[in-house]
Amino acid sequence: MRLTQRLLLQSTVVATLLVITILGVVEWRVRHRLDLASQAQATATQPVDEDAANAALLSAIRHDVAIASGFALVIALLLARVLARNVTRPMEELRDMARDLAGGDLTARPSRSISGGEVGQLADSLRQVAEQMETRLWEMQSEEALLVALTESLNEGIVAVDARKRVVRVNQTGRQLLDLTQPVPFAATELPQESQLQEALQLVLSGAPPIIREIHLRGRTVALTVRALSGGGAVLAMYDLTQVRRLETVRSDFVANVSHELRTPLTIIGGFVETLQDDDVPLDLRRQFLGMAEANVQRMQRIVDDLLDLSRIESGGWRPAPVELDVPEVAAEVFGPLELRARDKGVKLLVEFAPDASRVLCDPTAAGQILSNLAENALRHTTTGSVTIFTGREGAGVWIGVRDTGSGIPAEHLPRIFERFYRADPGRSREAGGTGLGLSIVRHLAEAHNGKVKAESTVGVGTTIAVWLPTPTAINS
């Protein structure tokens, strides 16, 4: 039944009941009054004034009508309240539900008892709206979670700026690149005031086409892309090129260094060969030239061998096969070939092994190569004093290294001595016969064993270079 029909019916019922109640009460009271008047006349001993009696009867009837009307009105009000409650209760329920939906509670639903008529249709409509809103909210939350997961998994920094120039989204990579800590949203003016970044952002926000450029930001080289959003605003994509540019520099330096390292002995050999082609060269001088050419060939061979070893280690073509080694035995094998050279230079070869650090888990070939490179390098740069192989325990591993009393390395060179072909004193290193690859090989061999390297040096005092390798106990645990 429609709401208007229900209200009309209820009003008619209330009005009818009101009239019936009043007429019934009045009729009963009039009959009662008439009966009382008839009895009074029958028992009266003196004649009754009919006008006075009629006036009294009329007054009593009016009084009865007033009482009956009041009584009927009270009943009608109570009945109207009950009937109105049946109409207003579902309306109030729907009102509360709409309020809950507006407040964000999408689980609110009207009760199934509300059915039929306009109110029932309204309840069904609100139920459908709530279900659709809940579904769409779930879809939006799923899309938001997917979008967040995608942006956070990118190696690029993403920053979204809306039409009001507020940063409304930024992923973790973007926060790291821009050093941002404040929660979104915040004003775009709080982004780093790097001129190229701010200029590109303002141009795109003003309607310019996408801008792609390489900028320097907080000591990093960053590829910046700024594009406009369809609804206003812009999105910034930043990729950290620092490591790429560093690797490009290393590769360029590597090619230049290899070329330089090989050019020198090749030039020397070429000069000797050209000279030896002359038949007038004395025999002793010819032998001297051939010896120098052979020395340069051997130097080139060492460079090539070291490059091959380094390439094999870096590419993963070589895998360590760790076994438990006795460090004093390895040290004795390393010092054996160096004793004659050390004696000629007046340098002592010493060992210092900590009692709890005499064994290590390492590939035998790698262990020998590590200590050989360190010991040869130390002896090459030590003219007096000693070269010492030592060990020491630290945590779950053992430090094995070489300490010398040589010329030392300036502090500004220490961070780079493990790079390929890096030399603190290029001329002196080449004269001493080094290839410039020994320490780089040491570092890669240590990292292949999950180890690490360190270097300490004081100019004029000496240098200490050591490798940390895990002990057998640490590996087994």
What CATH number does residue 450 fall under?
Answer: 3.30.565.10
Give residue 386's pLDDT: 93
Query: CB under 8 Å to 432, separation ≥6 — which residues?
Result: 380, 381
Query: CB under 8 Å to 157, separation ≥6 — which residues?
Result: 170, 171, 173, 174, 175, 176, 177, 178, 236, 237, 238, 239, 240
Which amino acid is located at 34 in the chain? L
Q: Clarify whether residues 431 and 301 are in a common domain.
A: no
Which amino acid is located at 355 in the chain? P
Among residues 114, 131, 153, the one where a domain terminates is: 153
Q: Clarify whether residues 342 and 231 are in a common domain.
A: no
Give residue 474's pLDDT: 43
Could you tell me if 447 and 426 are in contact, meaning their C-beta atoms sit under 8 angstroms apart? no
Side-chain half-sphere CA neighbours of 399 within 13 A: 16
Q: Clarify whether residues 307 and 402 are in a common domain.
A: no
**CA–CA distances in Å: residue 75 to residues 22, 303, 334:** 11, 115, 117
- What is the mean pLDDT for each group of 10 consecutive residues in the chain (477 residues)? 60 71 70 69 60 67 71 72 70 78 76 69 79 81 77 83 88 86 86 87 88 86 89 88 81 71 79 81 82 80 73 71 87 89 91 86 86 89 91 88 90 82 57 65 86 90 90 51
Side-chain half-sphere CA neighbours of 274 within 13 A: 6
Give residue 475's pLDDT: 42
Q: Is 201 exposed, middle or buried (0-12, 13-18, 19+ CB in 10 A)?
A: buried
Q: Clarify whether residues 147 and 183 are in a common domain.
A: no
Tens digits of per-residue pLDDT, 204-233?
A: 988 889 999 888 888 888 899 999 988 788
Tens digits of per-residue pLDDT, 257-289?
A: 677 667 777 888 888 888 888 877 788 888 888
**CA–CA distances in Å: residue 65 to residues 12, 18, 49, 54:** 21, 12, 24, 16
Q: Clarify whether residues 1 and 147 are in a common domain.
A: yes
Q: Is 400 exposed, middle or buried (0-12, 13-18, 19+ CB in 10 A)?
A: buried
Q: Clarify whether residues 332 and 456 are in a common domain.
A: yes
- Matching residue, tokens 């690149």: 177
Q: Clarify whether residues 213 and 281 are in a common domain.
A: no
Q: Clarify whether residues 472 and 403 are in a common domain.
A: yes
What CATH number does residue 271 fall under?
Answer: 1.10.287.130
Which amino acid is located at 378 in the chain? A
Q: Clarify whether residues 327 and 422 are in a common domain.
A: yes
**CA–CA distances in Å: residue 183 to residues 158, 171, 176, 344:** 15, 11, 14, 69
Cβ atoms within 10 A of the Cβ of 188, count? 21
Cα separation, 125 vs 272, in Å, equals 101
Both tokens of 471, joined, read: 């002990």
What CATH number does residue 194 fall under?
Answer: 3.30.450.20
Three-state SS for 116-136 is: CHHHHHHHHHHHHHHHHHHHH
Cβ atoms within 10 A of the Cβ of 282, count? 8
Q: Clarify whether residues 158 and 217 are in a common domain.
A: yes
Among residues 110, 136, 153, the one where a domain terminates is: 153
Q: How many domains does the chain have?
A: 4
Cα separation, 477 vs 472, in Å, equals 9
Among residues 211, 240, 269, the one where a domain terminates is: 240
Q: Clarify whether residues 160 and 258 are in a common domain.
A: no
User: 288 lies in which domain range?
Assistant: 246-314
Give residue 405's pLDDT: 92
Cα separation, 156 vs 140, in Å, equals 24
Q: Clarify whether residues 86 and 48 are in a common domain.
A: yes
Both tokens of 443, joined, read: 């570092």
pTM over 0.85: no
**CA–CA distances in Å: residue 223 to residues 153, 196, 236, 240, 401:** 18, 11, 10, 6, 42
